[in-house]
Amino acid sequence: MSIAANVLVALVALLHVYFLVLEMFLWDRPRGMRVFGTTPEYAAASKTLAANQGLYNGFLAAGLFWGLFAGDPVKIFFLACVIVAGVFGAATVNLKILWVQALPAAIALALVLIS
């Protein structure tokens, strides 16, 4: 069970690296605008805010990768942070965030706690 938990933690971390890339580097590019459903005008106006958000996703990814070496307390903390961020994003931005961000982290957290 521990291997499955670590694999899922790594996948959640990689997902957040993907969010970092989307928000920091692709926000105003066709792929980023397609993923987030934004217009070129909105993307240009909000580019720095998205980059800041991407940086935070990078910190979540770094914490999860660190947790793979540091142990369960670190994994639990950062998975909880991802879940809270996902629930907040779902409540304030788009319900899809609950399924894309919070649910994988919740499953990973459950596996970490079981293992």
Say how far apart CA 7 and CA 13 lie, in whole Å.
Answer: 10
Does the pLDDT at position 1 exceed 90?
no
Total domains in the fold of the chain: 1
* pLDDT one-digit tens code per residue, 5-47: 999 999 999 999 999 999 999 999 999 999 999 999 999 999 9
This prediction has a pTM of 0.92
User: What is the residue type of 15?
Assistant: L
**Domain, as residue range, for 82:** 2-114
Say how far apart CA 91 and CA 114 lie, in whole Å.
Answer: 28
Say how far apart CA 31 and CA 14 lie, in whole Å.
Answer: 18
* pLDDT one-digit tens code per residue, 46-105: 999 999 999 999 999 999 999 999 999 999 999 999 999 999 999 999 999 999 999 999
